[in-house]
Structure 1
């Protein structure tokens, strides 16, 4: 209902052609110098469709559309609409992540001989004898044949600045220009009464102030489901992305609660048994023209790789997918240097799926 035939006739078809044949990494060469907001204005997308299909994507990059590179927005369109027949699918664990994933994974690695050092900060990476690397931590030093820098943008900037032996001047300058996106808030509410039984487990929103999505956790998470069954209430999680750093944080959390009552009116006036509000600012920012500064997986040093959601991979992937994909690429690069086979990677197509649409784009010179 938000995108009818009349809306289609009102668009600028020539400006919309880049959506039909997204190629990686060419999309960055074509659109990294344009903001997502300017691109959508040129295409003349109807207002409702912009909210539905694009602002949700833009906000999921923790960025305002006026600052986000149009290349990232168009790439998301490709991944979820025209580049993949599967669309957008969430696969989530049935228990909290530490219990379902991180702790079992740590145990598995330890059985293989790995040491998992949580709560240990990496402060400096420096050369060691025979081409090895030494990582200085708050607890001492660790020597290794290779290092993967899987850090957020701020952490990577700080570590590289403190490690003069890492990389070359050009690489270090690019790392120094990496930016962090504005802060975001995750609020979890334990409500005394349930939300409506018809409510979905996850709902992306736009046009409700700072509220970007709502999760009803007892729909899939065992811990929340058991609490809800025991008390008759609901466990609801609210996300707000790209919050103004100068905003009053208590007021932001209160406004999210107000917007929840607009989206799910049955929650208005319902008391909370408990509330937790977590603020973070650790996501990469991809402003207009920033693609060239992003590090690739490989660095000037063959024993040092970079992984994370800020890395250039040459593949059509978004933030969480980019973090996982770059981790595989980093391990594959190291394994190949030791004569070992790595992991085969699967991806959505690296160009538009329709040969007819690709031909149309080429004929129009776009």
Structure 2
């Protein structure tokens, strides 16, 4: 059922409405958008009073999670005189933009979670870059392309533009080799409704109308097919949410931010080095230079809540072993002739049949669950760490062996375990005036499981109901030769079973450019934004499919030799499914000294991806600044409303 045709707000179009759109008033409105007077960013938050910027008393903040949201929040508060402690579970900072070392072709390289583009309308992220003085770490990619597996569409090429809506659509139509295949017929009432919906964005109205239906269901009937194939499908998947699990309301927000409400044009920058070197480390250095503390490898073990607020928390460094005996049930999913599995989700344990010792299958790098492969070793599906069958680390980025546990007793289908005592650590206790939870969705849900005491039930429910998108995967290949490629160095791909983009790292990042010059080789990365686990249940199926599709995308590479492969696979990106907006947590919570930050937080203005994470962190900092009567940071966004509203 088409959602637009059933919406009471869009069920009829009067003659007056049509005249408003296409009559004299519409023409005047369109021509009023000059190419030479581009609309300016919208200031979301600006204090009218002149308030102090710096804190003049002792106030402390604990930020949990050092992804972009946590880093941005800690950065702003440390600049204002707060005593900031930033806790990160991983050895590396950065979350989804973290970097780590890998060994390949006899050399050491820096690996990351795939290519990230920095768009000009990332106003808040770009303001941090300017403040840190690191603009030279970024470079323009000049243009980028979308290539379609279905040969009925020619590649689309997007270049820098200074034209806002509607000129950007006019420019796109003029430049597009597929313009006659868009399939838009504004005489068709339902096509007209679609056009109005995507160009007349109003945030609250948008979510009320469209949050109850998925993108896949919405486009099923009488949606302009060419428009969907050419733009909606590839760009919707770049949000890392699959069309069958993504709210139309969220898609509208996404398109308004990146295109219809964006006055900056379609172009972006990339980093000259890895994301850790280019962005994460400079932010961390600024936090430390202002007296902030950053603690990595820190796992929060307990959070104490008293009288409706956070009183203190405990965290462990390193091994994170539980010295209290606990029971785990037999895992009914994983079967093995030699190994018994107990526990589930991210707390799985393995023991040789009849053995008196078990190992945790939680990777000591970032907490992913490792899996046994045909070689008898345990491989981490997220970042490629490898462990022997006894838990000994064989390959990084993990630095510690898998944790070991003694089998205390067996009872039917349960096992009682207790951590072995060697290398055990005592928890550290920390108290603060404010606490900011800035982890990913699995992380914040784990934090709430560790809260002891009374916490408002609504907040618990909101966190518990957060969704995780389908997993994403990245595979980077080192080849012994280069190849001809006429598209952009980063190119979106559409129509493939797994692959959604290709990045030529040996033409973008300096470490790979240098290697390619010395060896004549190439470094190519394929990215799957949101694949279905049922289709690709193992690392082997992912690797095989990536390689097969790469040879279809770049046939020349069939004659090349693969020198090395690195697979990154994670399942922690925020999901935006239908009916999730209303109950999405906001920055301020029902817990008086608890603040939320992360791309899963309900945002009061249009934003997406990295800009959404950074903006949420700065919004969290602003909430604390406001409570202390300090000047808030001005936050920018695109125009919050679309041009063609009815």
TM-score using structure 2 length: 0.52
Superposition map of 1:1-366 within 5 A: 1-4=177-180, 7-9=183-185, 12-16=190-194, 17-47=196-226, 49-127=227-305, 133-139=311-317, 140-165=428-453, 167-196=455-484, 198-246=486-534, 247=536, 248-352=538-642, 354=643, 357-358=644-645, 362=646
Distance in 2 separating the partners of 1:124 and 1:26: 40
Structure 1 pair 161–167 and aligned structure 2 pair: CA distance change class (3 A): same
Give the equivalent residue in structure 1 for 2:377: none
More displaced stretch, 75-84 vs 151-160: 75-84
Structure 1 pair 167–297 and aligned structure 2 pair: CA distance change class (3 A): farther
Distance in 2 separating the partners of 1:325 and 1:289: 23
CA contact (8 A) 1:125 1:134 kept: yes
Please state how far the C-alpha of 1:183 moved relative to its aligned partner: 1.5
Please state how far the C-alpha of 1:18 moved relative to its aligned partner: 1.0
Please state how far the C-alpha of 1:194 moved relative to its aligned partner: 1.2
Give the equivalent residue in structure 1 for 2:97: none
Structure 1 pair 92–342 and aligned structure 2 pair: CA distance change class (3 A): farther
More displaced stretch, 118-127 vs 270-279: 118-127
CA contact (8 A) 1:128 1:134 kept: no
Please state how far the C-alpha of 1:195 moved relative to its aligned partner: 3.0
TM-score using structure 1 length: 0.90
Structure 1 pair 42–86 and aligned structure 2 pair: CA distance change class (3 A): farther
CA contact (8 A) 1:190 1:236 kept: yes
Structure 1 pair 89–127 and aligned structure 2 pair: CA distance change class (3 A): farther
Please state how far the C-alpha of 1:90 moved relative to its aligned partner: 2.7
Please state how far the C-alpha of 1:40 moved relative to its aligned partner: 2.2
Distance in 1 separating the partners of 2:302 and 2:179: 52
Structure 1 pair 272–6 and aligned structure 2 pair: CA distance change class (3 A): closer
Structure 1 pair 177–334 and aligned structure 2 pair: CA distance change class (3 A): same
Unaligned runs of 5+ in 2: 1-176, 318-427
Please state how far the C-alpha of 1:64 moved relative to its aligned partner: 2.5
Residue deviations 1:54-75, cap 9 Å, x none? 1122222333212210111112
More displaced stretch, 29-38 vs 166-175: 166-175
Structure 1 pair 269–6 and aligned structure 2 pair: CA distance change class (3 A): closer
Give the aligned CA root-mean-square deviation in angstroms: 2.2
Please state how far the C-alpha of 1:154 moved relative to its aligned partner: 1.0
Whichever structure has more strand as a proportion of its residues is 2
Structure showing greater radius of gyration is 2
Please state how far the C-alpha of 1:23 moved relative to its aligned partner: 1.2
Distance in 2 separating the partners of 1:106 and 1:94: 19
Distance in 2 separating the partners of 1:165 and 1:270: 60
Structure 1 pair 8–311 and aligned structure 2 pair: CA distance change class (3 A): same
- Secondary structure in structure 2 of the residue aligned to 1:332: helix
Please state how far the C-alpha of 1:321 moved relative to its aligned partner: 1.7
Structure 1 pair 104–314 and aligned structure 2 pair: CA distance change class (3 A): closer
Count of matched residue positions in the alignment of Structure 1 and Structure 2:
355
Distance in 1 separating the partners of 2:612 and 2:264: 18
CA contact (8 A) 1:127 1:134 kept: yes
- Secondary structure in structure 2 of the residue aligned to 1:66: helix
Please state how far the C-alpha of 1:235 moved relative to its aligned partner: 1.1
- Secondary structure in structure 1 of the residue aligned to 2:430: strand
Please state how far the C-alpha of 1:89 moved relative to its aligned partner: 3.3
